[in-house]
Structure 1
Amino acid sequence: MNDRGYLRATFLVLSFFILVLLAAWISINSRSFGGFAIFWAPNALLLGIWLRFPRTVAIYSVLGAAMGYLAADIFVKTDLIVTATFACGNILSVGSGYLLLNRLSEGDRKLLGLTSVLKLFLVTLVASAAGGLFGGLAVISFFSLPFFAGWSRWFVTDVVNYLTILPALLTLPANFKPSVWLNTPADDKSTPHRQVKVAPVGFLIAMSAAAFVIGGPGAVAVPLPALLWCAVLYRPFTVACLTFAYGIVSQLGIATGVFLPKPEDFAQESLQLSLHLGIAFIAVCPNILAAVMTSRNALLEEFKRLASQDSLCDLMNRRAFFEEASVLLEDAKTNAEALSLLIIDIDNFKSINDSHGHQVGDEVIRRTAAVLKGRIRQGDILARIGGEEFAILAPGLPQTALADYAERLRRACENTVIRKNGRSISITISIGAVFTPHSDAGIDVMILHADEALYRAKDAGRNRVELHAASRLQDS
């Protein structure tokens, strides 16, 4: 191993040792009967980090984590054999969870699929059950209690903490933007929408406070409607963070006796375990709904894209062009900005189709679209509005530059040649263009005049640019 390898190994051992030690030491303070903690964060943290940062999965990180588990128990003077047993159970729980979750797709690991949260739920059951085997052995050997008492305590504690902590780690975004938190547009700053965005969180805080006032086992479900509202409006990471907060607050309520009197023995503690399990199931619900809403929104976006995009050449279609043009015209009128429209038609396209077939005709359309797309200015709108017809809406283009702009597009297409079956096919286009200085003409009028200019270009021999007289446009 070279110096770089030693440095990486040392970093992994120390970082995971410190991480697990701190998380375990904090969690140990919630221990009750049989040496089991009510809140046990290190397993979920370790599993989440391994899944999000696969390069940290190495024997050195396992060694550091194991040392952290051992050190935390030793600091509170737990019996050394019990400490070793607990450490083995923790490593087995995290390791089995990692092996199972790592077999899922990346989308499932990030909770993006409709069934991703359910898969996570099933994996946490298996991982918690595996780790619980050592918990059962510990209570038999060192506390003279039934195996099931230790196993069930470990199982429930791990399930609750996995399901409340892991989703936040798995959905953690690579960068933080407003769109990370909300399912509404990031640039929507209207007051009503701001109120709607904040309202579910306020409702959740109010319901959580009400749960503490009400008390009793059923009070843990009081925040559920607020969590579901959050799941409808917010993105999975936001929902996972709120669910995590709910889990922490709920477990705090159990630990302080708000939701259930503190148990005095293992028999009474079964009620507490049942309540913990209820928290785990409640935590699953908003995360499932958030995943469903995310999939639904993605599907709606795809439908919107398909409805507004030309499938042949990956450009805006006619319907979307008219929608965008209306918005652009309104903006241009508000800003007193000039607007130009170019209607472009592929010359002799029917002849190309008849002579070379529709596949070649489709290739001509795709190639023409690609050439135009590569030559338009930033901010211009390009769309395919007919079989072989394209439109470009160019805001802010000076009248003196319109002819040169159209001519550059024409020459770019003229220099494009398609070779099929040993034959060369030249592409030429005719362009009709219109300019309006104050954008006071509607899009229908602009298209009418651009079409008139296009017909003149066709009549004059094709492969040319014709401009509509600005005075005629103003008279309209």
Structure 2
Amino acid sequence: MVFPAHSRLLPALLLFGLTFALTLGGILARPIESLSLFWPVNAVLAGVLLRHPRHGSFVGIALMYLAMVGADLLCGSQWYPALWFNLCNVGAVITFWRLLVNLPRQHRRLRTPHGVLRTFAACAAGAMVAATLACLMATPWFDQSLRSTWMAWFSEQFSTSVLVLPIMLTAPSLPALLRSSGQRISLSPLLMLLASLALSIGFGGPGAIAFPISALLWCALSYSPFLLSLLTLTAGSTLIVAVAQNLMHFSMPQSQAGVTALMSARLGIAMLVLGPLIVACISHANRALLARLAHQANVDHLTGALTRSAFTRQANALLEGRRQHSQRLPLTLMMLDIDHFKAINDRHGHAVGDQVLRECAQVLQAQLHDGELLARLGGEEFAIVVPGLLPEQASFTAERLRRAVQELQVRGGEEQLRVTVSIGISGCSDQRPASSLDNLLADADQALYRAKAQGRNRVEQAQRQVI
């Protein structure tokens, strides 16, 4: 696709501005004369490249690098360290991006355990690249040994990317986020996580960083991967800050030269979130599979109407609720049959017949209101239940449905098909107990038979109302 000049310039400016703002924020939050405690820039930018591949070009990466260097110089850094250390950051971004960009979408969006493991491996590789590049010039700029410098860069880059990158990869689109905003979520796992974090800080010690694991696993079973990623970021960053500020009295023997308590805590916290993320993606996949199976069991794949089994279950629930109601409400049941449907199949083929079924179901559904049921019982036969409508007063509604189908225009090859339906009506009057759904269907079926026998494209009432 060829983009106009202005449409290429705006994304480039946005990418430059985002990189500049993130880098400036990371520098300003950094302790004086120290490496950043939390540097999310690289993981965020890698996520941007993975979500918007057209930025993954030489120009896009060069803009990121220039924005990083510009922010560093603005904060008073010298030219040489600004150029070199931001080259370390860009190296990490490129590594994250190149190791994940060719993964299938379901893996890249962390919808499979394989995707989670590949993301962790990419985070480790990117952190190694950044740490190795930093060590190449550690002598003039760091007082620490090469081992200490490498471990400091690696632990920070790995822990931060593990906490931030999953958010970028699992984030839903804005329309999907708005659709899910009204859904209710359980607060118990979240409260459990907050309590476990408070207990970790209050109890202290090296083992305290593992306290939130049970709460995170509960969150993984209860929430989406995106929401869990936000919670792991919250938990991980809280623990890292607590260790850095010595709030948890986290100490370890210095038997390994250059390994500090903060480095160890960062790596432990990063590995802590691996299990919950895998559980979350498996749980999300299982919920999606169950939702698809439920949809297939309840919704006819061709017409979008209810299946016979789903209709039977929901109609019986309406009848049962009517029996238990102190004031028995009326209920109308209609059976509809597409006239001469076999002739349509024989003359125009089953593809046209399927189109007739689909469009008839769409027209009927458009005429119904919330709480009214439309089902495909089989073949060309449909059923409709209208709660609150007296069967003897249902002729107007049935005529409206019949006319809506009659006005439908379906193209069969070179000609326009005329589609009509015959309708039989049965139901339950108010203040009377209802019989079974089978009796209602039988009465409506007899009325439908009379409608077809009397010329089709008409509505007939059942001769005996079920009471």
Give the TM-score range, shorter chain.
Answer: 0.7 to 0.9
Match of 1:235 in 2: 224
The reply to whether residue 342 of structure 1 matches residue 306 of structure 2 is: no
Identity %: 30
- Post-superposition shift, 1:226? 0.7
The reply to whether residue 276 of structure 1 matches residue 266 of structure 2 is: yes
The reply to whether residue 374 of structure 1 matches residue 363 of structure 2 is: yes
Question: TM-score normalised to the size of structure 1?
Answer: 0.80
2:355 & 2:341 partners in 1: Cα distance? 13
Code of the aligned partner of 1:290 = A
Code of the aligned partner of 1:29 = P
Q: Does structure 2 conserve the Cα–Cα contact (< 8 Å) formed by 1:24 and 1:41?
A: no
The 1:82/1:263 distance shift into structure 2, 3 A limit, reads: farther
Q: Does structure 2 conserve the Cα–Cα contact (< 8 Å) formed by 1:136 and 1:149?
A: no
Q: Does structure 1 conserve the Cα–Cα contact (< 8 Å) formed by 2:220 and 2:228?
A: yes
Match of 2:202 in 1: 213
**How many pairs align?**
455
- Post-superposition shift, 1:295? 0.5
Code of the aligned partner of 1:281 = M
Match of 2:23 in 1: 20
Q: Does structure 1 conserve the Cα–Cα contact (< 8 Å) formed by 2:27 and 2:36?
A: no
1:283 & 1:125 partners in 2: Cα distance? 14
Match of 1:118 in 2: 117
1:396 & 1:94 partners in 2: Cα distance? 62
1:419-459 Cα offsets, whole Å, 9 max, x none, are 87999987554321125453853533422321221232244
Q: Does structure 2 conserve the Cα–Cα contact (< 8 Å) formed by 1:207 and 1:223?
A: yes
The 1:122/1:96 distance shift into structure 2, 3 A limit, reads: same
The 1:70/1:115 distance shift into structure 2, 3 A limit, reads: same
2:180 & 2:402 partners in 1: Cα distance? 43
Q: Does structure 1 conserve the Cα–Cα contact (< 8 Å) formed by 2:23 and 2:72?
A: no
The reply to whether residue 287 of structure 1 matches residue 282 of structure 2 is: no
- Post-superposition shift, 1:132? 2.2
Code of the aligned partner of 2:31 = N
Q: Using the TM superposition, name which of 267-276 and 405-414 deviates more.
A: 405-414
Q: Using the TM superposition, name which of 264-273 and 205-214 deviates more.
A: 264-273
| CA-based RMSD | 3.9
- Post-superposition shift, 1:242? 0.9
Match of 1:433 in 2: 425
1:82-108 Cα offsets, whole Å, 9 max, x none, are 332211000111122223333234443
- Post-superposition shift, 1:200? 1.4
Q: Does structure 2 conserve the Cα–Cα contact (< 8 Å) formed by 1:30 and 1:255?
A: no
- Post-superposition shift, 1:317? 0.8
- Post-superposition shift, 1:349? 5.6
Match of 2:465 in 1: 473
1:69 & 1:238 partners in 2: Cα distance? 29
Query: Alignment partner of 1:344: what SS?
Result: strand
2:341 & 2:353 partners in 1: Cα distance? 9
The 1:75/1:409 distance shift into structure 2, 3 A limit, reads: closer
Q: Does structure 2 conserve the Cα–Cα contact (< 8 Å) formed by 1:227 and 1:243?
A: yes
Query: Alignment partner of 1:37: what SS?
Result: coil
Code of the aligned partner of 2:209 = V
Match of 1:102 in 2: 101
Code of the aligned partner of 1:444 = D
- Post-superposition shift, 1:392? 1.5
Q: Which runs of 5+ in 1 are unaligned?
A: 188-193
Question: TM-score normalised to the size of structure 2?
Answer: 0.81
